[in-house]
Amino acid sequence: MNWITRERPKIDRIACPWLIKNFIDKNAHFYYVPFDQVIQKAAEINATPFDVPGVELTHQNDQCTFDALIKKYNLNDPALDIMAPIVRGADTDRHNLASQASGLWAIASGMAYNIKNDQELLQAGMVIYDALYTWAKHLQNVKHTESPVEQLLIEVYQKFLKKGNTDKIPTWATELKTIIQDQIDTNLTLTLTNISNNLNINPTYLSREFSKYFDDLSFGEYIRKLRINKAITYMTTSDYSLSEIAYLTGFSDQSHFTRIFKLETGLKPSQYRKTPPKK
């Protein structure tokens, strides 16, 4: 079957052929032509046009053509559900939809700049989307342990924060620090407002309903649990000190980390590290 779209593709017009070839039409042939020739050429070669105005398979509201194909052909694949907001975010300049969207845009725009032949660009892009699909399907929870960002954070901690200030800190300042940290951990309005806006859901409703679907925990409790789980991962897979782990997981200091860790696990971090519970 023939498929046709506008020339000089970047995101959607590479992602869609990948999707079509792998999930819809394995014998697909793709044609890239000038924008004003797409509909005419489609009729001449009996091709399905996509990603141009006025056709079925194109942008609808805030969705892109990749979304339209998934919907039309009822493609039920969790990995595609993960890829869709990445493609949509990159294609519509809404990089907040997925953390990978800005990276996909950077790669795609660079490839389009370097490769002038559209068919060669398509073949190169197929490799990118094969890799993205594999990541979405198999590798999301695999961590690059030598993360440059993580190492940079540790360097900052060692150089500037671990030494601390030798001046005596007044009691009120210490108490205020704890209050602020607790607010960061548990104040729902701190982040629920942004999340509610993104989901177009009333924040009060989201706050009330959240626990039904997240382990009977409030939003703040759930986020805190995730931070403790991340700390446990560091404790069992790295040689970081407990102070470094507290810093990496966003706690104000080791004492606060110890207090919250014990609330969550029943053990102090030092006890947990020596004798982690059996799974």
Tens-digit pLDDT string for the chain (279 aa): 999 999 999 999 999 999 999 999 999 999 999 999 999 999 999 999 999 999 999 999 999 999 999 999 999 999 999 999 999 999 999 998 988 999 999 999 999 999 999 999 999 999 999 999 999 998 876 665 545 555 555 555 555 555 555 556 556 455 545 544 554 444 444 456 665 665 666 767 767 777 777 778 777 787 788 788 888 988 888 888 898 888 778 776 788 889 889 988 999 999 998 877 665
Among 109, 139, 169, give the residue marking a domain's end. 139
Residues 110 and 181 in one domain: no
Task: Say yes or no: 124 and 18 in one domain.
Answer: yes
Q: Are residues 33 and 162 in the same domain?
A: no
Specify whether the CB–CB gap between 232 and 224 falls below 8 A: no
Q: Which two tokens stand for residue 143?
A: 């961590």
Q: DSSP secondary-structure letter at 20? A: I
- Give a yes or no: residue 27 inside a domain: yes
Rounded to whole angstroms, the Cα distance separating 16 from 86 reads 13
- In angstroms, the first-to-last Cα distance of the chain is 52
Helix (H) or strand (E) holding 239: none
Residue 35 lies in a domain: yes
242 touches 249 (CB < 8 A): no
Whether 198 maps to a domain, the answer reads no
Q: Which of 139, 170, 205 is the last residue of a domain?
A: 139
Does residue 170 lie within any of the structural domains? yes
Is residue 210 situated within a structural domain?
A: no
Q: Give the total number of structural domains in the chain.
A: 2
Give, as one character, the DSSP assignment of residue 60: B
The span from the CA of 213 to the CA of 207, in Å, is 11
Which of 202, 200, 178 has the alpha carbon at shortest distance from 188? Answer: 202
Residues 110 and 135 in one domain: yes
Q: Is 257 found in the same domain as 133?
A: no
With tokens 């009822």, the residue in question is 74
- Do residue 61 and residue 168 come from a single domain? no
| Residue 162 token pair | 């671990």
Does the residue 192 lie in any domain? no
User: CA-to-CA distance for 22 and 274, rounded, in angstroms?
Assistant: 49
The domain of 268 spans 148-186+217-274
In angstroms, the Cα distances linking 15 to 67, 76, 104, 230 are 10, 17, 11, 33
CATH of the domain at 227: 1.10.10.60
Residue 135 and residue 13 share a domain: yes
3-state class (DSSP) for residue 254: helix
Same domain, 270 and 179: yes
Looking at the domain assignment, is residue 19 inside a domain?
yes
- Tell me, yes or no, whether 103 and 161 share the same domain: no
3-state helix, strand, coil in the chain (%, to 5): 65, 5, 30
Is residue 222 domain-shared with residue 107, that is, in the same domain?
no
The angle subtended at Cα 171 by Cα 168 and Cα 175, nearest 5°, is 125
User: Cβ distance 12 to 64 under 8 Å?
Assistant: yes
37 within domain boundaries: yes
Predicted TM-score (pTM) of this structure? 0.54
Shared-domain flag, residues 61 and 113: yes
Amino acid at 147: S
Residue 177 and residue 269 in one domain = yes
